[in-house]
Amino acid sequence: MSQLSTRHLLGIKDVTESDIRLILETAANFKEVINRPIKKVPSLRDITIANIFFENSTRTRLSFELAEKRLSADVVNFSSSNSSVKKGETLVDTVNNILAMKVDMVVMRHASPGAPHFLSRNVKANIVNAGDGTHEHPTQALLDSFSMQEKLGDLAGKKVAIIGDILHSRVALSNIFCLQKLGAEVMVCGPITLLPKYISSLGVKVELDVKKALEWCDVANVLRIQLERQQIKYFPSLREYSLYYGINKKMLDSLNKEIVLMHPGPINRGVELSSDAADSAHSIILDQVENGVAVRMAVLYLLAGARN
């Protein structure tokens, strides 16, 4: 198989295991490209891509833009804060006006879960979901799996603990779907107030003790507390959260095995991770950032091949 089964990347739930493996294999080739002295290839020279972000972003937006430019695509950046959205324009009208300028693909981040799915049914361009509310963040899950594979090899049978604010995290849901499709065992860990009620129905283990989670896992993927999405207090204070769920190097060194430490960013140092843990030999956090460009290059390249 050399082509995706879908013309959009809306979520990991919607793609097959074969799609995921094809993206990861293609990303390995593009990682070799971006480490050359000349980092550019002409693969998408005739394609125009619009990055449409209705939420703040640093890593994801820069990573997509760099991936697009490495593939020689023409890039249009859109930010809702200084657009006609502020004047009451609808999402479909905004995107159709952009597409009228002959844009081929749309990378979109939106605060509303399902926004990319809605858009895919109403416009002709390929849609890539760069995060939709608390729903999914598919390219983050793909780059996380790619980074784990680089470090550990085949993920079948590997144990991955996702630790932190599971309730508000789109990264957690996409990672669960992706890791399960690749044969890994998944555990979620956090305060019970930050675990969704339905979480056990997804076929994951649930643990409330972070030390037990670290002893169980081969990989710890640590998530930040998403205060901007929380309408009520889910725990007494950040200090108390850090005391019970914060991970430091001493905890990692006390384990009777080496584990891999990951974080999708941005890190709240001193809350979910101490600086000595984030910067330790266990950490592959900066590898995740580098791999994000290669994985997003693979996604864009393969979706361009699936255009109708």
CA distance 284 to 271: 19
Is 45 part of any known ligand binding site?
Answer: no
36 known ligand binder: no
Please check if 305 is assigned to a binding site. no
Q: Is 269 annotated as a binding residue?
A: no
Asked whether residue 135 is marked as a ligand-binding residue, the answer is: no
Residues 6 or more apart whose Cβ sits within 8 Å of residue 171 = 137, 140, 141, 144, 221, 223, 264
229 is in an annotated binding site: no
110 is in an annotated binding site: no
Is 149 part of any known ligand binding site? no
Consult the annotation and say whether 113 binds a ligand.
no
Question: Does 226 appear as a known binding residue?
Answer: no
CB 51 within 8 A of CB 78: yes
The tokens 């597409």 sit on which residue? 99
Enumerate the known binding-site residues for L-aspartate. 87, 170, 224
Enumerate the known binding-site residues for carbamoyl phosphate. 59-60, 109, 137, 140, 265-266
Enumerate the known binding-site residues. 59-60, 87, 109, 137, 140, 170, 224, 265-266
